Every structure is written in structure tokens, then in C-alpha cells.
Amino acid sequence: MHQPSFRFKKLVLFAALAFCGVRRGYFRFWDPNLTVTFFDVGQGDAALVQFPLGRTMLVDGGGGWTKSDLGTRILFPELTRLGILTLDTLLMSHPDNDHARGFLGIIDNLRVKELWLHQAWNVSPKRPLLEEIQTKYSQKKGKILWLDRTLSQTISGVNLKVIPLKGDLKSKNDQALILELSFAHCRILFTGDIERESERELSAGSVGKVHLLKIPHHGSYTSSTWKLLKNISPDWAVVSVGRYNTYGHPRKEILSRYRALGIPVFRTDFHGAIRFTVTPKGEVKCESYLGDCGVSRCR
Ligand SMILES: [Zn+2]
């Protein structure tokens, strides 16, 4: 009987490995693009940043105000589906339940190389949820980095910057960490739950044009001021909210503000998970659970 040649066997083996690699998401280690995915975590925030060539960062971990283990129930399966069993960075904007309770399940189920926390929360006494997360993470012998207001570093061509605001902001929401990512002329702004006071300071600074905005504080009427929106003039905006949430987020008057300025808004309660892919040439592609949601170019 005719035996397959050694070369043919090698080809079959290579094809099988490549197929498994693509299925497991290993192709991301060759992917030159920056990808940001806003997960549908109900009333809360969780966004995955996939840097070019594979490094990963989860900005907030959802969680809501119930004891439901959302990190295990939603984020763990979503991340493993993308082939992510190790997170390089887990970053918390602020230790509210709807942004951080999911960290507990994430830390339980995945390897997390570094936990990034905002220096503003390194105070005594610590918030109980933050204590719980730190204790759990320490048991795994992970590395905690307290970010001060001057962080600026580059990962695979993407510049990360913590936007510095003064330390005496009154509301705890206003003390949320604001993170800016810049890549290929595109600027992406994560705003946690900041409100008017932080927005006023942000507008007074030199933030300038932003291409993709994570809408502050789930579209609450205390955020998304005219001044900020006119100042940063985003091409795209995403609001992370739970369907029929009791807060009435996003507020109608806030949505009409975005509409009046011609800024398209995508919402996780309607569009499901929303993914933005930015190429090294500054082309942006938006995809959601409902299908393609447009293309653009950063200028
Ligand atoms: Zn929130």
C-alpha cells in the first residue's frame, strides 16, 4: 500500500497545529492590531485590551451590586474563548462593586501577572472589597502595582497614560482612574465613573481629540458634560449598562447630548459585546454582537 510521504505528514501536522492555534486564540501573538472589547456585563464595566503581539489587560471586571460571581460566570468563559488563560494586567478604575467585584472570580480562575490599582485608593481604612481582592490576590503571590498620577509607558507600540487630576476631588466616583491609550494616531479614553468635577478638570487640561470614549459613569446625568464632549469630540462612544437597570442609565438627556453632537453611541445592553480593532495604519473597525457597526480612520 502507498504510504504518505514524510513531507506530507509534516504538512498535515503543521495544518493541525495551526488550526488548533487559531481555535485557541494563539494567533493573537502575531496580530499587529490593537483590539478593545467592551463586554456585556450588565450594570458595570469590563473592557479587554489586546495589545499588538498578544499582551492583555482587563480594565475593570464588572460585578454588579449582588453577590453573583460574574467574573467566573461571564468573564472567565469570554476570556478563555479568546484563548486567554493568563492576563498580563488587571486594572481597576475604582473599587466599586460594579467595576471590581468580578475581580474575585477572575483571580480564582485565571493567572493574573499584575494587578494595577490606583494610588488614590491606597488609604486607610481600605474599602472592604479592595481588601478582599488584595487578600485573594496576595494568596496567589501576584504582583500589585500602585499607579500614581504620572504613569506613562509603552506596550507593543501603544502608549498608556494615566491622566493626572488633583488629589482632593470630593466624590469617590471622581477619583476613578482615567486611562488614555494612544496607537497609530488613535486615542482611546477610559473614564471609569468620573463625574462633573473630574470632567471639568479634564476639559481644562490638554486632553484634546479622542477617537473612542468609554462613556463616563454609565451615561449618568452627573457626567458627559457639554464642555467635555465638545473638547474631546469622540468619533465613537460606548456605554456599559445593564438592561432595564434601576438607575435609568444611560439617561435620555445624556444620549440626546451625544446625538446633538453627532457622536454615535454603542451600548452593551443593546449591542452586546462591542469590539474595536485598530490597525497600525489607524483604521478602526467596530463589530458587535448585532454585527458590523462601522469603520473609520483616526486623523
Ligand atoms: Zn460604575
Q: How far is the CA of 73 from the centre of ligand 1 (A)?
A: 19
Residue 17 lies in a domain: no
Range of the domain at 228: 28-291
Predicted confidence at residue 103, as pLDDT, reads 96
Q: How far is the CA of 171 from the centre of ligand 1 (A)?
A: 13
Quote the CA–CA distance of 38 and 216 in Å, as a whole number: 14
- Cis peptide leading into residue 128 (ω within 30°): no
Sign of the Cα pseudo-torsion (162, 90, 156, 186, in order): negative
Three-state DSSP state, 39: coil
For 74-101, the pLDDT digits (tens) are: 999 999 999 999 999 999 999 999 999 9
Residue 84 lies in a domain: yes
Residue range 253-282: mean pLDDT, rounded: 97
Q: How far is the CA of 256 from the centre of ligand 1 (A)?
A: 21
For 205-244, the pLDDT digits (tens) are: 767 899 999 999 999 999 999 999 999 999 999 999 999 9
Reported pTM? 0.90
Residue 22 lies in a domain: no
For 5-20, the pLDDT digits (tens) are: 767 666 665 565 555 5
Residue 52 lies in a domain: yes
Predicted confidence at residue 112, as pLDDT, reads 97
Residue range 34-43: mean pLDDT, rounded: 96
The more confidently predicted of residues 127 and 206 is 127
Q: How far is the CA of 153 from the centre of ligand 1 (A)?
A: 26
pLDDT band of residue 3 (cuts 50, 70, 90) is low
Q: How far is the CA of 217 from the centre of ligand 1 (A)?
A: 5
Cell numbers of 199, please? 470632567
* Nearest of 98, 264, 91 to residue 179 by alpha carbon: 91
pLDDT at 66 over 80: no
Q: How far is the CA of 14 from the centre of ligand 1 (A)?
A: 46
**Helical ranges in the chain per DSSP H:** 6-24, 70, 76-81, 97-100, 103-109, 128-139, 196-204, 226-232, 252-260, 268-271
pLDDT at 122 over 80: yes
Q: Considering the chain, what is the average pLDDT of its residues?
A: 90
Sign of the Cα pseudo-torsion (292, 294, 295, 297, in order): negative
The CATH number linked to 99 is 3.60.15.10
Counting the structural domains of the chain, the total is 1
Quote the CA–CA distance of 110 and 105 in Å, as a whole number: 8
Residue 169 lies in a domain: yes
Residue 215 lies in a domain: yes
Residue 46 lies in a domain: yes
For 139-189, the pLDDT digits (tens) are: 998 899 998 777 889 999 999 998 877 766 668 888 899 999 999 999 999
Integer Rg of the chain from CA: 20
Q: How far is the CA of 204 from the centre of ligand 1 (A)?
A: 24
The neighbour count for residue 21, using CB atoms within 10 Å, is: 15
Residue 7 lies in a domain: no
User: Per residue in 179-210, is it b (16+ CB within 10 Å) or e — as a string?
Assistant: bbbbbbebbbbbbbbbbbbbbebbbeeebeeb
Q: How far is the CA of 21 from the centre of ligand 1 (A)?
A: 36
